[in-house]
Amino acid sequence: MSKNATAAAPSRGHGKPRRGVSVRSRRGRGPAASEKKKPGVLSHVDARGRIKMVDVGDKPITDREAIARGSIAMSAEARRLIRAGAVKKGDPLQTARLAGIMAAKQTAALIPLCHPLSLSKVDVELTATARGYTIESRVRTRGQTGVEMEALTAVAVAALTIYDMVKAVDRAMVIGDIRVELKSGGRSGTYRRGTR
């Protein structure tokens, strides 16, 4: 037997080894073991600790949706100028909506291991609050992987766009609380923030 040959494990109740299954795989260290996703294991890291893009080819094609939210807080003067339509660069809210939609479509170019997706809907809404604005994105597709990253990217870029357009008035604006509120579709089912 050569040095590189893998020892085979005997099957239960028989003297013969199980064909095609190495001792390493049976102990959870070989290639066969790494193919199955385990709870708490990062799917973007292989058995040797290297970064990888997840193969979604065997996943079912389903309707998928994600909702993300975030916020931007600003000074009273910044809020006044936006609501009066007096920002010199133009309308920050409409520009932010458009930027969020465009960003969702470019997520795979921004986040290294995201899959390029054909999105069927991207909606970005901004709602005035006492301290600034709440930003919500809703993204849909029919495919083999979810759209959480697209929804999060839309919110983040919409908030950054507002900052860029209003920073001459308020450089102390705070962007925060960006999170997934809802994810549906796929093998893992539906996730709602605050529930399990």
Place of tokens 């796929």: 186
Q: Which residues are catalytic?
A: 164
Tell me the pLDDT band of 41, cut-offs 50, 70 and 90: low
Coil vs helix vs strand at 75: coil
DSSP 51: B
- Token pair of 68, please? 């993300």
Answer left, alpha or beta for residue 140, where phi above 0 means left and psi between -120 and 50 means alpha.
beta
Considering just the CA atoms, what is the radius of gyration of the chain in Å?
24
State pLDDT tens for residues 62-105.
999 999 999 999 999 999 999 999 999 999 999 999 999 999 99
Q: What's the confidence (pLDDT) of residue 12?
A: 45
Residue 126 burial (10 A CB sphere; 0-12, 13-18, 19+): buried
pTM as predicted? 0.76
Is pLDDT above 50 for 19? no
CA distance 66 to 154: 11
Q: Could you read off the pLDDT of 164-184 as tens digits, one per residue?
A: 999 999 999 999 999 999 999
pLDDT at residue 112 in the model: 92
Check: CB of residue 153 under 8 Å from CB of residue 90: no
